[in-house]
Structure 1
Amino acid sequence: MNLSYWELKNWFTNVDYTIVGSGIVGLHAALRLRENFPNSKILILEKGMLPQGASTKNAGFACFGSISEIIDDLKSHTEEEVVTLIEKRWKGLQLLRKRLGDKAIDFKPYGGYELFLKADENSYNNCLQKIPFINDILNPLFKANVFAKEIDSFQFSSIHEYLIFNPFEAQIDTGNMMHELMKNAISENILILNQQIVTGYLDKEKHVEVALNDFNFITKKLLFATNGFASTLTNSDVKPARAQVLITEPIENLDIKGTFHLDEGYYYFRNIGNRILLGGGRNLDFETENTSEFGQTQLVQTKLEQLLKEVILPTRDFKIAHRWSGIMGVGTTKNPIVNQLSENVYCGVRLGGMGVAIGSIIGTELADLI
């Protein structure tokens, strides 16, 4: 690679900590390392022009799980595991707010709602019935009831009479959040290089040799914060999961405010000003959507537009302004992976679609492994 002496000296010489991935986890890990090691040289490598996975592509939900999602998690996790995971998500949101400030991330505590299609009778009745139980197990954490049934006041269609409301849920501006995190990192003399693909590494006990496309360099410690892309280099139990999203053009006199969940969290929507952002649908075809390739499919996009027309905006005209996708990291459980891979190599991955909530605390825990 045609690097000058100056480039090698300032960016690739005497590197103490190299972080792969400049998303929520990677930036929080870097900021935590700066707190712990004020005089260290910290380098972040990002393969995209911007964070490649979901950190700048998510829906901006400051949430910790809808009631149907929590009930479903209890089928495959112990009660203690589920409560611990929710606590970690909740504490992660508070850490994010404390670090960046509510104004910077446009934090809006409108609350969150879960709605149930008329055809979804069993889940609806089950969730209503289990509200007292879920509130009881979460009360030690929130010191209040988290979920309550509430009459639909948004004029949705083809749904059951009651929504389930969560006053602790909010929305943020994802772009503002990541912009602020990047500004914090730069102000702390953390180096960020984009469009750098790590192709391999070798832990040599006293340091790690990191291979990029065109050359190798030495770092004392290597940290992976690549979430949905983690399995390639870390061999972790993480599968990529694509999330498809769309947003409407502005809608006059839109009176929908909040974050909304449908079908165990597989669909989600919110207002952004007077627009509607809607995403989800990977449960329509898990095999196709368990991919690290960005893009949209006709199957999912048709379903999203159907939900807009028939459920969310049944009496309103709308136009789709933009579509995109992001890559999450999922696995056999929803517990994140934060561990040491070898003498000088670490990873913090598998956020289970909850990166906004849990990313800050996973990044902190990743840095604290050192």
Structure 2
Amino acid sequence: MISFWEKDVFLKKYDVIIVGAGFSGLWLAYFLKKNKPEMTVCILESGVLPTGASSKNAGFSCFGSPTELLENISVMGIEQAMYWAEKRFKGISMISQHFGSEIELNACGGTELFSDKTIFDETQNQMAYLNKELKFITGNDTHFFTENKIIKNCGFNGFDFAITNTVEGSIHSGKLLKVLMENLHAMKVQIFNGVEVQSFDFDKDNVNVFASKGLIFQAKHLSITTNAFAKSLLPEIDLFPGRGQVLITEPIEGLNWEGTFHFDKGFYYFRNYKNRVLFGGGRNLNFAEENTAEFGLTDLVQNALEKLLYEKIIPTHKSVKIEHRWSGIMAFDTSKTPVSKCIHSQLSMSVRMNGMGVALAPTLSENLANEIVEFAL
């Protein structure tokens, strides 16, 4: 039962209610308050900690490997592929600009590793084309370049070729969430954890938001930023969930490399975190099972990750133990296109990040905040 005091302070009518306290929701609240400090904003989050991928990812600020970009071009065309590449590039820059010193941001670059010479040759043959298109985004004539020594220097096994870029990097995802939350508290944004939004409706002046435990919130505008879980509130949205499984080793003495690495068209990814190898992926081993909104680990994926870890990534450290394992839920669609927009004056969404939410959330949230202020409030 809600008291008068609780209703008067916490269940007042807000200008904007945001559903979801992941990167998209937090960045949206941040830019709404930057845009209009007097605005009242609250965030409703179903979990004690953010649910989804934001706090459960591998901590990559992904721009896109060459094979990923070529795949995007084949699906959506060059113009759209470069449009979204620019959004990711700007997002990575915005993270650095706003919070880089507080989140262990490491502009270490990203490398795609190849075992198959045919695939490498096909990709290398497209590098001049990719670099020409990307120069207008990165300002670099050679955004992608072949890296001949990195495999041997890092002690990897079973990889023969590498293509590197200097834009990608790594972050501490938990620290980015924490610093965003701390800033929002200072901006007087109210964050409610453990509040699951079940439905909403509209009347002339209000959005009525019905949540667990009989709570009812009101706002002028509602924004859904729950990514893979958006279908429960927006059933018409075209997306499907994808589970990413991740593991991290115990510290490894003498682990002398850094950087972010991808292979198998981005389906596997790893990095060094404080002399631990953080390694994730394997969703492509069984799409039917991994296209799920259920958290969990499977023997198929975990066994594959371990095998690749010990055979290819740390072949000289096979006695190293796995310290921790977890999973996160991403959102995808066949067009590989995020959606972030006002649906009408009382409702907006920012979802379907296609595995690139770290880099996309700042730019999409800033644009959506401007749209909400200009057209909806």
| TM-score, scaled relative to structure 2 | 0.94
Structure 2 counterparts to residues 328-339 of structure 1, below 5 A:
328-339=330-341
In structure 1, the partner of 2:290 is 289
Q: Which segments of 5 or more consecutive residues in structure 1 lack a partner in the other structure?
A: none
Letter in 2 for 1:99: H
Give distance in 2, aligned partners of 1:53 and 1:364: 21
Question: Shift of residue 63 of structure 1?
Answer: 2.1
Letter in 1 for 2:134: L
Give distance in 2, aligned partners of 1:109 and 1:32: 24
- 1:146 and 2:123 aligned: no
Give distance in 1, aligned partners of 2:280 and 2:298: 13
Letter in 2 for 1:56: S
Question: Shift of residue 358 of structure 1?
Answer: 0.6
Question: Shift of residue 179 of structure 1?
Answer: 0.8
Contact 1:203/1:342 (<8 A) preserved:
no
In structure 2, the partner of 1:94 is 93
Letter in 2 for 1:189: K
Contact 1:203/1:345 (<8 A) preserved:
no
SS across alignment from 1:369 = helix
Superimposed CA distance per residue, residues 47-71 of structure 1 (whole angstroms, 9 cap, x where no aligned partner): 0111101111111112210011111
In structure 2, the partner of 1:32 is 31
Question: Shift of residue 340 of structure 1?
Answer: 2.4
Superimposed CA distance per residue, residues 186-222 of structure 1 (whole angstroms, 9 cap, x where no aligned partner): 1100000001110000022321111112232321110
Question: Shift of residue 307 of structure 1?
Answer: 0.7
Letter in 2 for 1:18: I
Give distance in 1, aligned partners of 2:163 and 2:200: 48
Report % sequence identity.
40
In structure 2, the partner of 1:349 is 351
Question: Shift of residue 365 of structure 1?
Answer: 2.0
In structure 2, the partner of 1:159 is 159
- 1:11 and 2:4 aligned: no
Give distance in 1, aligned partners of 2:171 and 2:6: 37
Contact 2:15/2:221 (<8 A) preserved:
yes
Number of residue pairs the alignment of both structures matches = 365
Contact 1:335/1:351 (<8 A) preserved:
yes
In structure 1, the partner of 2:370 is 368
Q: Which segments of 5 or more consecutive residues in structure 2 lack a partner in the other structure?
A: 373-377
Q: Which runs of 4+ in 1 moved over 4 A?
A: none
In structure 2, the partner of 1:133 is 129
In structure 1, the partner of 2:47 is 48
Contact 2:261/2:269 (<8 A) preserved:
yes
Of stretches 16-25 and 28-37 in structure 1, the one that deviates more from structure 2 is 28-37
SS across alignment from 1:270 = strand
Contact 1:203/1:343 (<8 A) preserved:
no
- 1:168 and 2:167 aligned: yes
RMSD: 1.2
Letter in 2 for 1:42: V
In structure 1, the partner of 2:310 is 309
Superimposed CA distance per residue, residues 278-337 of structure 1 (whole angstroms, 9 cap, x where no aligned partner): 001101111111111100011100110011011101111311000000111111222211
Letter in 1 for 2:295: F
Give distance in 2, aligned partners of 1:336 and 1:368: 18
In structure 1, the partner of 2:210 is 211
Letter in 1 for 2:112: E
Question: Shift of residue 27 of structure 1?
Answer: 0.8
